[in-house]
Amino acid sequence: MHTALLLIDIQNDYFPDGRMVLEGSTEASQKAGQALSLFREQGLALIHIQHLSTRPDATFFIAGTDGVQFHANVRPVADEPVIQKHFPNAFRGTPLLEHLKSHHIDHVIIAGMMTHMCVDATTRAAFDHGFRCTVLHDACATRALAFNNVTVPAMQVHASFLAALGAVYAKVIGTDDFCATPG
């Protein structure tokens, strides 16, 4: 069994002073950085995933801005692979599936942003492609959402999406627990 860490969209626009600030982004990036350090130390596969918006009405992740850059807590080094995407699902229109298959990866560890969007879409797609999935719940962040004049706080959005993923699609655990017994 081969495992890879997927760090999804941990980019400056999601942090204070960014264009789409998420609740708990700094803390989540620190936990993602903890997992990243473990993978680097053990020489395990990891992939940085970067969203670049191509929509004409985009308000964040705009090419050429500081907002698309990886946050300092998880910035790629040396020859670490970076896969750019334009959709929430990191498999759509990218070489991610081919990259994972060519490296014989069958288990993906997922951390990133936003829990309710790109983390959710990528986890479900990974599961559908036959990968075993683990989501590091405290290494993910999201924001409040509104529906039908009801505002759903970020903590409840985060918990709801992770509960749904944990029911079928992934093992959902904390970073400390994962790092204590990776795999």
pLDDT of 183 > 90? The answer is no
> CA–CA distance from 139 to each of 5, 63, 68, 73, 112 (Å)?
12, 25, 19, 12, 6
Q: By residue range, what is the domain housing residue 22?
A: 3-180
CA dihedral over 35, 40, 46, 47, signed as positive or negative:
positive
Q: Which tokens sit at 118?
A: 């790109």
Tell me, what DSSP letter sits at residue 71?
P
Q: Which tokens sit at 94?
A: 């990218």
Contact 183, 38 (CB under 8 A): no
3-class SS at 82?
Answer: strand
The one-letter amino acid code at 173 reads: I
How many domains does the chain contain in total?
1
pLDDT of 47 > 70? The answer is yes
pLDDT digits (tens, 9 = 90+) for 151-162: 999 999 999 999
pLDDT > 70 fraction of the chain, expressed in percent and rounded: 98
Give the CATH number for residue 13: 3.40.50.850
Question: For residue 182, what pLDDT is reported?
Answer: 65
Exposed, middle or buried: residue 96 (CB in 10 Å: 0-12, 13-18, 19+)?
A: buried
pLDDT of 181 > 90? The answer is no
pLDDT digits (tens, 9 = 90+) for 48-71: 999 999 988 999 999 999 999 999
Q: How confident is the model at residue 1 (pLDDT cuts 50, 70, 90)?
A: low
pLDDT digits (tens, 9 = 90+) for 75-132: 999 899 999 999 999 999 999 999 999 999 999 999 999 999 999 999 999 999 999 9
- Distance (Å, whole) CA 110 – CA 86: 18
The one-letter amino acid code at 12 reads: N
pLDDT digits (tens, 9 = 90+) for 23-43: 999 999 999 999 999 999 999
Question: For residue 173, what pLDDT is reported?
Answer: 98
